[in-house]
Amino acid sequence: MSNRRKRRLVQGKECWKSSTDFRAGEWIENEVVGCAFEDVRHGKRLRQLLEQLSGRVGAATPWACQDWGNTKAAYRFFGNDRISEANILAGHFACTRERFSASRSFPLLVLHDTTELSYRHEDTASIGILKKIPAGHKGRAGLYTSCGILMHASLVATRDGLPLGLAAIKFWNRDKFHGANALKRHINPTRVPIEKKESIRWLENLRQSTELLNDPGRCVHIGHRESDIYELFCMAQQLGTHFLGDRVKSGHT
C-alpha cells in the first residue's frame, strides 16, 4: 500500500472519529440539558461521565475515566446523597417525551421488564439480596446468596423496533428473603394489598410513563407473564391506555 493511500485512510478515520465524537457530544448535551441539580458542578460532572463512559462502553469505571482523579470524582458522584436517579434521568425523560411526540408511528409500544444487576460482594447488607441459587457439588449441595439490585424499566419504542428512550424506571433492593412460598401456606396472596408487594412496580411505572407521554390512547404497554395482575389492568383502563400481557410461560404453550 502506498504512503499516499495510507495517509488518506488515516485522515478518513480521523474525520469519521471526530464526526462521531461530535454527534455523541451533541446527543449527550441534549440528554442532560433538562437535568436539575442543586449544584451546577454535578451537571458538569454528569456530562463528563457520560462522555467518558460512552467512549468506552462496557469498561470498568477506572478504565473509562483513565486517571485516578477522574475515577475518584466519578465515585464521589455515584455516592453523593444529594444526587438521585431522578436528577440524572430528568433530562432523558424529557427527551423521550419529545421523541414520542415527534414520532409518526402508531401505536407506540411501551415495553416493561425487570432486570437483576448482580454483584460479587461478601457483605450482602451493603448492597441487597437478589435470590438464593444452588451451589456446591452433588452430595454437598447448598444455597448461595446472590447480592445486587433490581431495576424495573419502561422503554418506549416504535413498531419497527426503534427505541425512543425510557419513560419510567424504578430501582430497589431486598434486605432479606420474605419466604414467599412458605407464606403462601398461611396467607392467601390475593388478600395481601398490592401496595405491600413488589408487584406495585408495574402499577407505578404504568402511571409514570402514561403521565410523561401524555397520550394514553396512542400507547400499547407490553409486559411478560409476571404482569398478569388484576390491579394493573384496572389501572390501564382507568388511565385510558392499553396493556398487553403474556400469560404463556416461557418454553411452554
Q: What are phi and psi of 217, to 5 degrees?
A: -70, -20
Between 100 and 12, whose confidence is greater? 100
pLDDT at 35 over 70: yes
Q: Taking 80 as the threshold, does the pLDDT of residue 109 lie above it?
A: yes
One domain for residues 201 and 166: yes
* 54 shares its domain with 111: no
Whether residues 66 and 180 share a domain: the answer is no
Q: What angle do CA 24, 26, 32 make, to 5 degrees?
A: 100
Task: Please state, in angstroms and rounded to a whole number, the distance separating the CA atoms of residues 179 and 238.
Answer: 33
Nearest to 217 by CA among 195, 194, 240, 248: 240
- What is the structure's pLDDT at 13? 42
Cell numbers at 37, concatenated = 441539580
Q: How many domains does the chain have?
A: 2
Name the residue among 244, 249, 152 with its Cα closest to residue 197. Answer: 152
Please write the tens of the pLDDT for every residue from 238-249. Answer: 999 999 987 655
The b/e string for 7-33 (b: 16+ C-beta within 10 A; e otherwise) is: eeeeeeeeeeeeeeeeeeeeebeebbe
Return the percentage of the chain with pLDDT > 70, whole number. Answer: 77
Task: Enumerate residues 6+ apart whose C-beta is below 8 A from 24.
Answer: 51, 54, 55
Domain-located, residue 225: yes
Task: Render pLDDT for 132-187 as a digit per residue (tens, 0 to 9).
Answer: 777 666 656 666 777 888 899 999 999 999 999 999 999 988 775 555 555 566 67
Counting every residue written for the chain, the total comes to 253
Sign of the dihedral defined by the CA atoms of residues 77, 83, 86, 87, in that order: negative
Q: What is the pTM of this model?
A: 0.77
Nearest alpha-carbon partner for 131 in 151, 116, 113, 115? 116
In this structure, the answer to whether residues 119 and 229 fall within a common structural domain is yes
In terms of domains, do 26 and 123 share one? no
pLDDT value of position 137: 60
